């Protein structure tokens, strides 16, 4: 049965998993498309790379890392399944692919938890993007929707450290069990898999340590969230080695950009200031995060999905280290506030001190480099975005702040 027929059947037999067009401007395609379009979509295969990156080829030869799947070749998926495509990073990836690869059809699978919002992918061409509402732990659902896809790009995760400290359970279920369910579906249907992960699996670095994380840094996660992501990374590697699954992993640093939930550091402070409330800084504020614009993350993920070597891990980072207090002062300045107009609050238990990524492998092998290198300019754009999208964030703001208040933060 082809992908279009499967979609049609899912729409008919499982309306609970399908978003209806009128609800959200995104149309779920329920009719089989033309035969020609169907053939083009299912025609994904490995092709010789027309313009191989010389640095990449050189590096692979030097390291003797010849890999029949990817060396000098490119994987051209026509149908991708993006889990968590209504969350912040996932939705930005869906938008990136829709904009830059219009021939690629995207099925978004999202449970629409508090952090997933269908508005994040609204306005994309209905012929290119479908949304299936469902849980990655739902084996029967995966059985219906995975076949026919060339690749799964797995963003779906519980992602907020503070929530994992308050209640670890959903993190283990979604991040560990959910990843295992997807790996099993990918294995059964021989689907290429890319796993989105975090630099937090490596633990933290001292503030005065010149070292940065590399792909060889030992795992040392601190929080229930990062431990669950570390577990999921290990599962992916086990499926590659044991079952020969065609999979890659990327571990990225802190993302910023549009559509980020107001629970996270940058949007929380921006939206608090917009509401006339004072930003909240944890602990000493000296903790360092390595910021990357979410669009640069998306470009890196696409590069790894299409040109990365199977079985490999790539770290993604844009040399954006900055202390929390420096970021907060920058936000306050950009929003016309005094630099000390914030409150110090209770620190996060086990708070990681510093993250820092060395993305040399990604740069050398795949020729990736960040395009958003002006952090202050990027922050200004993000501030403008939140100013223009109050309707998008306001409904979540009060409940989020109530949660923080209860934690003394
Ligand atoms: C919400 C908040 C946070 N903070 C501090 C705590 C952190 O040192 C820093 C960033 O916090 P946030 O919760 O936004 O992000 P991280 O805990 O670094 O984790 C994030 O980046 C990694 C890579 C992921 O993998 C996570 O999924 C993602 O949530 O600001 C404050 O000082 N005040 C606040 O109000």
Residue closest via CA to ligand 1's atom 8 equals 287
233 flagged as catalytic: no
**What pLDDT is stored for residue 73 in this prediction?**
82
The rounded Å distance from CA 178 to ligand 1 centre is 23
Asked whether 153 and 305 are in contact (CB, 8 A), the reply is yes
pLDDT in tens, 358-406: 999 999 999 999 999 999 999 999 999 999 999 999 999 999 999 999 9
46 lines ligand 1 (CB under 6 A): no
**What pLDDT is stored for residue 23 in this prediction?**
33
Q: Which of 328, 212, 221 is nearest to 270 (CA)?
A: 328
How far is residue 301 CA from its own chain's centroid? 9
Which residue is catalytic, options 225, 256, 259, 355?
Answer: 225
Which residue is catalytic, options 110, 130, 199, 312?
Answer: 199
**Sheet strands (E) in 255-373:** 255-256, 280-282, 288-290, 292-293, 313-316, 321-323, 343-345
The rounded Å distance from CA 373 to ligand 1 centre is 20
**What pLDDT is stored for residue 91 in this prediction?**
98
**What pLDDT is stored for residue 296 in this prediction?**
98
Residue 15: how many CB atoms within 10 A of its CB? 11
- Ligand 1 atom with the smallest distance to the CA of 287 is 8
Under DSSP, is residue 371 helix (H, G, I), strand (E, B) or coil?
coil
**What pLDDT is stored for residue 70 in this prediction?**
43
The rounded Å distance from CA 266 to ligand 1 centre is 8
Residue closest via CA to ligand 1's atom 9 equals 265
> Which residues in the chain land under pLDDT 70?
1-12, 14-72
225 flagged as catalytic: yes
Q: How far is Cα 113 from Cα 400, in angstroms, rounded to an integer?
A: 14
User: Which mutation among 265, 267, 320 tests ligand 1's pocket best, with the greatest number of atoms within 8 A of CB?
Assistant: 265
> What tokens appear for 243 in the block?
């079952």
261 lines ligand 1 (CB under 6 A): no
The rounded Å distance from CA 265 to ligand 1 centre is 5
Q: How far is Cα 51 from Cα 54, in angstroms, rounded to an integer?
A: 9
Q: How far is Cα 90 from Cα 105, in angstroms, rounded to an integer?
A: 15
253 lines ligand 1 (CB under 6 A): yes
Q: What is the rounded radius of gyration, in angstroms, for the C-alpha atoms of the chain?
A: 21
**Check: complex ipTM more than 0.90:** yes
- Strand 151-154 vs strand 79-83: parallel, antiparallel, or unpaired? parallel
Q: Tokens 């209770």, residue?
A: 346
Domains along the sequence of the chain with CATH: 3-260+292-320+354-373 (3.40.50.720)
287 lines ligand 1 (CB under 6 A): yes
204 lines ligand 1 (CB under 6 A): no
């Amino acid at each position: 049965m082809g992908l279009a027929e499967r979609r049609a059947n899912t729409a008919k037999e499982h309306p609970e998993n399908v978003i209806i067009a009128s609800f959200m401007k995104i149309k779920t395609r329920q009719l089989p498309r033309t035969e020609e379009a169907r053939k083009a979509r299912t025609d994904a295969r490995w092709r010789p790379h027309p313009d191989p990156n010389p640095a990449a080829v050189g590096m692979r030869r030097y390291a003797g890392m010849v890999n029949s799947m990817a060396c000098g070749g490119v994987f051209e998926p026509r149908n991708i399944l993006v889990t968590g495509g209504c969350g912040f990073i996932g939705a930005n990836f869906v938008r990136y692919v829709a904009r830059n690869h219009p021939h690629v059809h995207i099925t978004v699978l999202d449970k629409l938890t508090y952090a997933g919002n269908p508005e994040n992918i609204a306005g994309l061409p209905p012929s290119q993007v479908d949304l299936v509402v469902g849980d990655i732990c739902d084996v029967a659902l995966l059985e219906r929707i995975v076949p026919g896809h060339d690749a799964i790009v797995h963003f779906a995760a519980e992602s907020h450290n503070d929530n994992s400290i308050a209640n670890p359970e959903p993190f283990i279920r979604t991040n560990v069990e959910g990843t295992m369910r997807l790996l099993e579906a990918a294995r059964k249907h021989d689907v290429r898999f890319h796993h989105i992960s975090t630099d937090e699996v490596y633990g933290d670095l001292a503030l005065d340590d010149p070292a940065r994380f590399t792909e060889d840094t030992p795992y040392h996660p601190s929080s229930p969230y990062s431990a669950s992501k570390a577990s999921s990374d290990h599962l992916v590697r086990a499926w590659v080695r044991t079952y020969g699954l065609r999979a890659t992993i990327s571990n990225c640093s802190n993302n910023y950009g549009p559509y980020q939930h107001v629970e996270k550091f940058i949007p929380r402070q921006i939206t608090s200031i917009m509401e006339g409330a004072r930003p909240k800084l944890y602990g000493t504020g000296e903790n360092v995060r390595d910021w990357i614009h979410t669009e640069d993350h998306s470009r890196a993920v696409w590069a790894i999905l299409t040109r990365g070597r199977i079985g490999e891990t790539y770290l993604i980072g844009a040399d954006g280290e900055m202390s929390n207090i420096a970021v907060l002062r920058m936000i306050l300045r950009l929003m016309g506030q005094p630099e000390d107009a914030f409150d110090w609050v209770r620190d996060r238990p086990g708070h990681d001190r510093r993250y820092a990524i060395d993305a040399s492998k990604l740069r050398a092998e795949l020729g990736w480099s960040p395009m958003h290198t002006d952090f202050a300019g990027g922050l200004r754009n993000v501030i403008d975005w939140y100013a223009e999208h109050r309707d998008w964030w306001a409904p979540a703001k009060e409940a989020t702040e109530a949660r923080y208040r209860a934690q003394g933060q």
